[in-house]
Amino acid sequence: MITIATGQKEQIMSKLAKSKINIIVGVIVILAIAVGLGSWAYVANTPSHKLSVVVNSQNQLSEVSYKGQAGVNAMTLLERHVTVGVKHYSFGDFVTSINGVVGNGPKYWTFYINGKEAAMGASSYVTKNSDTLTWKLQ
């Protein structure tokens, strides 16, 4: 027979309650994807920054946002968060896909810095901590 002290019992019950909440949240997210409730956003915690993802009514990734990090270019940060397809040109790199979602006529992945369409490529833009970087499939 195993005896559990009162303090240990409370810790076990607390862990079980947290597990149940995580399962419920997971089921809700899966149901929202399955039902296709239009666009929705998901914020994922990454080691040092948050990644915001928008999925459209066809359950396709349509937007990715993340915070800048002083001294690091926007492309490097994007690659830290998601899988990126890139085509290299003499004038710079062109993002062709994000997490397997390919931008190819009439929609392409467009890069924004603080809500404004970027005038330079993501590899050229050195970010600041205050920046919000966004990629939209449009």
**Residues in Cβ contact with 83 at an 8 Å cutoff, skipping those fewer than 6 apart:** 97, 98, 99, 100
107: pLDDT strictly greater than 70: yes
26, 41: one domain: no
Question: What average pLDDT does this structure show over 55-60?
Answer: 71
49, 114: one domain: yes
11, 73: one domain: no
133, 114: one domain: yes
Give me the domain span that covers residue 80. Answer: 37-137
12, 78: one domain: no
45, 57: one domain: yes
Q: What is the chain's mean pLDDT, rounded?
A: 78
Domain tally, the chain: 2
Residue 81: closest CA among 92, 93, 90, 69:
69
| Strand residues in 8-120 grouped as ranges (E) | 40-45, 50-55, 61-67, 84-89, 92-98, 101-102, 109-113, 116-117
69, 127: one domain: yes
6, 65: one domain: no
Q: Mind listing the pLDDT tens digit for each residue in 20-39?
A: 666 665 555 554 444 444 44
5, 52: one domain: no
To the question of pTM greater than 0.85 for the whole model, the response is: no
Residue 66: closest CA among 87, 99, 40, 43:
43
Question: What average pLDDT does this structure show over 12-18?
Answer: 62
